[in-house]
Amino acid sequence: MTKLPVERRQAYRAAVTICERLTSSAPVPSSELPLALWHRASQLIARLQLAQSRRWQAASQVLMDDLFASLGDLISALERFRSGLPPKRRAAALARPADLLADLAALDQEFTELQIDLADNEIRVLTEPIALEGIQLGPFRIVLHWDRIGTKGAYKVLAEEPRCPSGREDVTHPHVCERRLCEGDGAAPIQAALASGRLLDFFVLVRQILETYNSASAHVALDHWEGTSCKDCSIWLSPEEGSTCERCDDTVCGDCTVLCSACDRYVCLSCTADCSQCSDRCCLSCLQSPPNTEAELCPDCLQPGEPSIDSQTETPAPAPPPLPQASPASAAADAVRDGEATVPS
């Protein structure tokens, strides 16, 4: 007997398993029958029968009115329950193992990579790199958990080479957040495809959503994908705009960039303040406060010789070594240099 290739055997086993899953999973109602309303109506009927048996006409009329209202509530509740049930699935609409096998073979051709994981009940495909309006988003891996078909979270979308917008590591695509695709117009056909076991249609639908940009409804708009906002005024800056503060390394716009008059560094507004005396804008590091004052002065305004707060707080500098004793000859020479000696005529 000719053995099937490993991949084909894997695909066959997956097809059979998925088919069993589709045919055996019955829709489970998400809400309960309105038993309290049923009980209420039952009570009213019992009381009405009692009133009628004792010929209590007035009581019978009141109970009849109550019963009409109660039955109306019960019927409404039952209609709501029925409308909440999953749609009926015809057995003929479900994919057979041969259909699933054909879908898996087609997926192998349609996508860059197909993986079938029997241990984790997953089918994984890899798309081509996706670019939307010139923004490269890289390829995406679509992972279907076939044992979760019919539930939320049956599949996830993973960025193979994440290129997230600044500050939003949870968004890998304008319509993917935390690995969940916001299906939008694709929600109904995706649900129908999964319910029927049309795997090829499902993966193709997800891929087409990934390849379409809906600017009206995106987690992060593409024109905010690359770049960042000014640290001080929050205006949006493209990658070519803005500059970097030389003190804190944050990105700021031109309007929020200041040249420190003391150290000539380009810094952001948050890293600067005005000199209390001359109002020149300086780095916070370049401003100093004289002792016993709250004023912040630039180096030019800080008086020379005036001890700065830093010098008072620092440990005293060691005393300079004593000068050597001067010889008489050198003393006389020193006197001439100092202008104190009378130069003989």
Partner 1 sequence: MRILYINNDGGGFADHIDVPEGTSVRQLFDQRVGAKPDGYLIRVNRQPASADQVLQAADRVTFTPVKIEGA
User: Is residue 283 classed as helix, strand or coil in its secondary structure?
Assistant: strand
- Choose, by CB under 8 A, the member of 42, 49, 217, 312 that binds partner 1: 217
- Contacting partner 1 within 34-93 (CB under 8 A): 93
Query: Which residue, 24 or 109, is less far from partner 1 as judged by CB?
Result: 109
DSSP letters for 307-342: PPHHHHHSPPPPPPPPPPPPPHHHHHHHHHHHT-SP
Query: Which residue, 181 or 301, is less far from partner 1 as judged by CB?
Result: 181
- Min dist CB 200 to partner 1, Å, is 6
User: Where does this chain touch partner 1 (CB under 8 A) — which range of 60-68, 78-86, 203-211, 336-344?
Assistant: 203-211
- Min dist CB 110 to partner 1, Å, is 8
- Choose, by CB under 8 A, the member of 49, 112, 208, 234 that binds partner 1: 208
Query: Which residue, 166 or 191, is less far from partner 1 as judged by CB?
Result: 191
182 in contact with partner 1 (CB under 8 A) = yes
Cβ atoms of residues 76 and 5 within 8 Å: no
221 in contact with partner 1 (CB under 8 A) = no
- Choose, by CB under 8 A, the member of 41, 209, 252, 256 that binds partner 1: 209
158 in contact with partner 1 (CB under 8 A) = no
- The residue count of the chain comes to 345
Query: Which residue, 193 or 301, is less far from partner 1 as judged by CB?
Result: 193
Q: Indicate the pairing of strand 180-181 with strand 176-177.
A: antiparallel
192 in contact with partner 1 (CB under 8 A) = yes
H or E element in which residue 77 lies: helix 57-83
**One-letter amino acid for residue 144 of the chain:** L
Cβ atoms of residues 295 and 306 within 8 Å: no
The residue count for binding partner 1 (CB under 8 A) is 31
Instruction: Give me the phi and psi of 258, to 5 degrees please.
Output: -125, 140
Query: Which residue, 49 or 217, is less far from partner 1 as judged by CB?
Result: 217
Per DSSP, the chain holds a count of helices (H) and strands (E) of 8, 17
**One-letter amino acid for residue 52 of the chain:** Q
- Choose, by CB under 8 A, the member of 20, 79, 185, 223 that binds partner 1: 185
User: Where does this chain touch partner 1 (CB under 8 A) — which range of 28-36, 195-203, 233-241, 260-268?
Assistant: 195-203
- Min dist CB 214 to partner 1, Å, is 4
Q: What share of the chain is helix, strand, coil (3-state, %, to 5)?
A: 40, 15, 45
**Spatial separation of the C-alpha atoms in residues 41 and 47, rounded to whole Å:** 10
Alpha-carbon distance values, 85 to 147, 149, 187 (Å):
20, 16, 18
- Choose, by CB under 8 A, the member of 7, 201, 280, 300 that binds partner 1: 201
- Choose, by CB under 8 A, the member of 22, 37, 116, 204 that binds partner 1: 204
Long-range (24+ apart) CB contacts under 8 A made by 56-62 are: none
232 in contact with partner 1 (CB under 8 A) = no
**Spatial separation of the C-alpha atoms in residues 334 and 78, rounded to whole Å:** 116
Query: Which residue, 74 or 102, is less far from partner 1 as judged by CB?
Result: 102
Q: How many CB atoms lie within 10 A of CB 146?
A: 23
Query: Which residue, 128 or 334, is less far from partner 1 as judged by CB?
Result: 128
**Spatial separation of the C-alpha atoms in residues 127 and 210, rounded to whole Å:** 9
Report the interface residues with partner 1, using CB under 8 A. Answer: 93, 102-103, 105-106, 174-175, 181-186, 188-189, 191-193, 196, 198, 200-201, 204-205, 208-212, 214, 217
